[in-house]
Chains A and B, each alone.
Chain A
């Protein structure tokens, strides 16, 4: 498990959520402490898929390994009744929320190192599914970039942990805010995983193409970034990858 890295997950014309499920189960199995900001699906959805991939989110949550912010459920709480204390999704109630500070505070608190020496987890991990939703909820791209910046400072640099976040690539739909967010994050990321739908359209045996790009954001770009491309097919409990054109269905 490498440390201090920001991994960007991105999907264009397809559903990249299988990557989120993968990283969630990967880090839980690697004994890391995970803070999962799940904005777009319910807890039980991730739990059921997680079980197929070999982890139990319920157990992880109960023993403190996983801190799960269930965005959908919390949004109902926040929206319909005023909260006594600041809530991570406070911005839902506000007309012009400036920033995502309450959400950042939540993350910082969740990944606070435990001092009492028991059950030491490996590095802390922040997982976000997905950041584009924050734009739909009224936050500007700059606010979201600031949020990630703060999280990076705390999680990656201070606590030597990792961040994995998903952003949709809206392609040609002229979503400027989303493009700003995507480009901004791409420049900051160490690793970019981009799931793309096939240019030729839907195919039963090849669900899409995954581009992997390794970057070194801090160094000047004199050296080439490494990249690889695979095609993949998603199955019930796993995803199989193969080189372009080498799908078992074709050979």
Chain B
């Protein structure tokens, strides 16, 4: 679907990235289907890029985020050519985990990685990637868990737990690396040989900051300019933009940028309200331009909770394609709230792009929570509680009469206050508290 034109006209092109009006540009936004100029073989060559699949909705080429649960929420996966922005949770625990899943998925699929960080050396980040769950090990663990579960239905294999009747069940576990989307064991590390076999480029800002700039000073901070140049260089040198037509096998470039906007990148928007208000947004714009014209997909984690100027957050959202916010319960009052004890935090799907379409795939469920079990990161809809459930949880005696005594009403008022701030999440629970 993408670059059909490129494959067709590849022989004659010069490989220049930026020839104006060139027919050589690669975008992943062309519809699949019969085209006059393209040939069937070029189409099949493109679809057969490892680790990608066309979207059911609009034929858009997708890659997995590394978390099949998240892929489903985003309408099948992350579209090639787009940016996934993760709004970091307060202590950057779960967002950095998602970052690692994204990179690990790239290694398993044989994608080229570009890892950019101002905090950690990319080589160290790669050493910390979670190990993929392989067929037999996974099945063994599942069987163990199956014995512990009392539920008759085999919904332990369900990773997404909403609308059981309406949605098809997800296949259980990883099968082989030709699958789309894999499961990872957060407690084990990625085998060394897989890391070494992978192709990756690292951008560690403290190392690069000393070299000279050959671009005129514009309002971008030094770090962002260098990063953009680095990314553009890789895209061009390795032909992700279609500029090396003689390359036989097309591949995806996975770009991961950590903690963008933090002071470690030289940006001051997290420190002061009147900081450089255009640097980050300009960066995101040029990055978007680079992505739209190449076979790449980007995940950025950003500490938005630190950004002082709220206007910047809304501009950043508008310049990103998919935006997911993570909110962990660590250190918050919810950690000890019995109603939340099943979960580690909430996931907010803030924005999903409408690409090549007037409409988009959006799930009906907006209230999602996640938990990190021993091996797996799962996302579920917040459970709705009946009144009796609530009583059980709060260890109150069940009250079967219509009139509620004053003291028990008092006890219920306390947790409902706790529910208050998160009432968008627990809407189901709250309504049952109305007497």
Binding site for B on A (CB under 8 A): 15, 17-18, 21, 40, 42, 44-45, 48-49, 52, 71-77, 79-82, 92-96, 132-133, 135-138, 168, 170, 173-178, 201-202, 204, 234-239
Contacts and interface: CB of A to CB of B under 8 A. Distances in A.
B18 A81 contact: yes
A74 B285 CA distance: 11
Interface string B192-233: 000000000000000000000001111100000000110010
Contact of B289 (A44, A73, A135, A236): A73
B310 A48 contact: no
A195 B314 CA distance: 17
B218 A93 contact: yes
A52 B358 CA distance: 9
Closest 5 CB pairs of A and B: A175-B311, A136-B281, A72-B289, A48-B356, A138-B278
Interface stretch (B23-31, B88-96, B247-255, B400-408): B23-31
A48 B319 contact: no
A245 to B, nearest CB: 21
A45 B29 contact: yes
A64 to B, nearest CB: 13
B371 interface: no
Given A48-B58, A76-B232, 4 more contacts: A45-B356, A52-B357, A76-B18, A235-B359
A22 B158 CA distance: 41
B354 interface: yes
Given A73-B292, A175-B314, A239 B286 contact: no
Given A76-B290, A80-B232, A137-B282, A168 B318 contact: yes
B363 to A, nearest CB: 10
A158 to B, nearest CB: 28
B288 interface: yes
Interface in B1-59: 17-18, 20, 25, 27, 29-31, 58
Chain B interface SS verdict (over half): loop
Contacts of B31: 48
Given A45-B355, A94-B218, A168-B318, A73 B29 contact: no
Nearest to B232: A80
16 contacts: A17-B354, A42-B27, A44-B27, A48-B29, A48-B356, A71-B289, A77-B18, A93-B216, A138-B218, A138-B278, A168-B314, A168-B318, A175-B311, A201-B366, A204-B364, A239-B358
Nearest to A72: B289
B217 A76 contact: no
B243 interface: no
A49 B281 contact: no
Contacts of B25: 73
B52 to A, nearest CB: 18
Given A133-B318, A173-B311, A42 B292 contact: yes
Contacts of A40: 318
B218 A80 contact: no
Contacts of B355: 45
A95 B217 contact: yes
B29 to A, nearest CB: 4
B172 interface: no
A15 B232 CA distance: 30
A132 B312 CA distance: 12
A79 B286 contact: yes
Contacts of B30: 44, 48
Contacts of B305: none
A147 B31 CA distance: 35
Given A15-B354, A234-B358, A176 B311 contact: yes
A170 B314 contact: yes
B146 interface: no
A136 B285 contact: yes
Given A76-B286, A95-B219, A138-B219, A173 B313 contact: yes
B393 interface: no
B258 interface: no
B315 interface: yes
Contacts of A18: 358
A94 B282 CA distance: 12
B354 to A, nearest CB: 6
A76 B233 CA distance: 12
Contact of A49 (B215, B289, B358): B358
Contacts of B17: 76
A132 B27 contact: no
Contacts of B58: 48
A202 B18 contact: no
A170 B311 contact: yes
B286 A75 contact: yes
B285 A133 contact: yes
B182 to A, nearest CB: 30
Contacts of B354: 15, 17
B273 to A, nearest CB: 10
A246 B216 CA distance: 57
Nearest to A80: B232
A124 to B, nearest CB: 22
Interface string B386-427: 000000000000000000000000000000000000000000
Contacts of A170: 311, 314
Contact of A72 (B217, B293, B315, B359): B293
A3 B208 CA distance: 55
B285 A75 contact: yes
B260 to A, nearest CB: 15
A81 B356 CA distance: 30
B130 to A, nearest CB: 33
